[in-house]
Amino acid sequence: MQLSSRLKLRAGVRLKFDRTRNANLLLLPERTVKLNHSAAAVLSCLNGTATVDDVLSLLAMRYNSQNLTKDVIAFLEEARDKGWVQAIDD
Amino acid sequence: MIEPPYALTCELTHRCPLKCLYCSNPLSLIRAEDELTTDEWLRVICEAKELGIVQVNFSGGEPLAYEGLPQIVALCKNFDLYTHLVTSGIGLDRRKFDTLRQSGLESIQISFQADDERLSESIAGGNFLAQKRAAASLVAGSDIPLTLNVVLSRFNLDRLEQILDQFLKFRPRRIELANVQFYGWALANRSYLLPSSEQLKRAEALYLARKAKLNGEVEIDWVISDYFENYPKPCMGGWASTHLCVTPVGEALPCLAASAIKGLPFPSVKSKDLSWIWYESEAFNRFRGLGWMTKPCSECELRFVDFGGCRCQAFLLTGDASSADPVCRLSPARHLIDEALAEKNRTAVRYRCFSQPDASVP
């Protein structure tokens, strides 16, 4: 995954904070995924303009940690492979 | 503790222009005059939101034949519920599509029977392929993600390659290759629909090759043909665990096939609210968890994986909904599946129809 890639949730995929379960959910056609806190934090940064690099900086600032890069990129690659996110220039 | 359900499937109507041999609807179809009204559906949606449901699926019959669909979709949108339409594509013209899109519909699945007219017609009991293609093009050209579905059986498994080529032209978000499951009309036509194991193996190999080639670009799913398996499918993730269905007449079910289970009093949304139905009703609690199980399931390590399989299939084939799913090699009734697989005499084929002539059916 390129640091300069701009990512967004794919069409038909959206994040929802669910008050009943007090949890972030990812909604897809005929499927719901209950997200943990970090997955929701990463996915909520994907607005189609931020690059992977921007997302990393934002999360590093928010969680005051420089060691997130490997985990975040691994998660974004997994999210792409699962069809949750796509690069905007795809 | 019982968790709230994630999804509601609204089976809006049993009316449908198609007469598919594999239809999973019950043999005694519900007539137009007995369907819930739009106001009743709107109340069900309100109760669903209160219950914690986040996804609403519309199915049928052909849900586009239900007049109030756009209104129901709009209320879901208002409540921030994810909406998904499962359609044959028949009736999805530009005007209908625009209305649904403006109402907030988020996702559409269109089913096909085959890649050519002759075969499609012999499966669906009518010539609908051109209309389906037009509907798929309409969705493909929009921002609504398209899922394309085909129910696979002896008739079309050998055409899988051509079916996939046709599907990819519509740039779908997802492809669902669903081997026929034997409920309703499909069970009545089982001897016609069951493939050979060679057919199934060839098709599955083709699916795996194409999936690897697509490399995640298009999501592609394979729904197994459970008769050919050694262990049952973990149906619905266990009875009444995540999903709630309502039939055209307002009967609430943990899964759409469950109406076949006789002797279990399924509650109606006309007289009970969804919360009571989910948490309190006898029907929804009957097979929850593992406590209802008898041998061999009650002593089997796999009970945590497959939850004893499908209750509806157990009932349909053995007459006892609390027995093991007969697909299981450990079930004393597995011979019923093996006999069906070995059956050479084919019964007369039955196209889906209402039991008596009905003026309301298109």
For B242-252, what is each residue's pLDDT tens digit? Answer: 999 999 999 99
Tens-digit pLDDT profile for residues B102-132: 999 999 999 999 999 999 999 999 999 999 9
Q: Give which of B57, B105, B142, B173 to mutate to test A binding, by max A Cβ within 10 Å.
A: B173
Q: What is the pLDDT of residues B37-96, one digit of tens each?
A: 999 999 999 999 999 999 999 999 999 999 999 999 999 999 999 999 999 999 999 999
Instruction: Give yes or no for residue B357 having a pLDDT over 60.
Output: no
Is the Cβ pair A32, B147 closer than 8 Å?
no
| Cβ contacts of A30 on chain B, cutoff 8 Å | 7, 55, 57, 84, 107, 109, 147
Across the range B320-343, mean pLDDT stands at 95
pLDDT class of B355 with cuts at 50, 70, 90: confident
Nearest CA in chain B to A79: B216
Q: Do A30 and B55 touch (CB under 8 A)?
A: yes
Lowest mean pLDDT among B83-92, B158-167, B306-315, B342-351: B342-351
Residue B89 structure tokens: 């594509």
Overall residue count recorded for chain B in this entry? 362
Residue B215: pLDDT band (50, 70, 90) is: confident
**Quick one: tokens of B274?**
């969804």
Whole-angstrom distance, CA of residue B82 vs CA of residue B20: 28
Banded pLDDT at B362 (limits 50, 70, 90): very low
Rounded distance, CA B244 to CA B325, Å? 21
B168 and A34 Cβ atoms separated by less than 8 Å: no
Residue B358 binned pLDDT confidence (cut-offs 50, 70, 90)? very low
Please name the member of A21, A30, A82 whose beta carbon is closest to the beta carbon of B84: A30
Cα diameter, chain A: 37
What pLDDT, on the 0 to 100 scale, is given for residue B25?
96
- Say which of B52, B54, B143 has its CB closest to residue A27: B54
Q: Which of A63-67, B147-151, B169-173, B318-322 has the lowest mean pLDDT?
A: A63-67
Task: Kindly determine whether residue A83 and residue B80, on different chains, have CB atoms separated by under 8 Å.
Answer: no
> What's the confidence (pLDDT) of residue B356?
60
Provide the pLDDT for residue B313: 96
Q: Name, in order, each residue with C-beta under 8 angstroms of B50's C-beta and a sequence gap of 6 or more.
A: B274, B275
Work out the average pLDDT over A42-70.
88
**Is the per-residue pLDDT at B325 higher than 80?**
yes
DSSP A21-84: TTEEEEEETTEEEEEPHHHHHHHTT-EEEEEHHHHHHHHHHHTT-S--HHHHHHHHHHHHHTTS
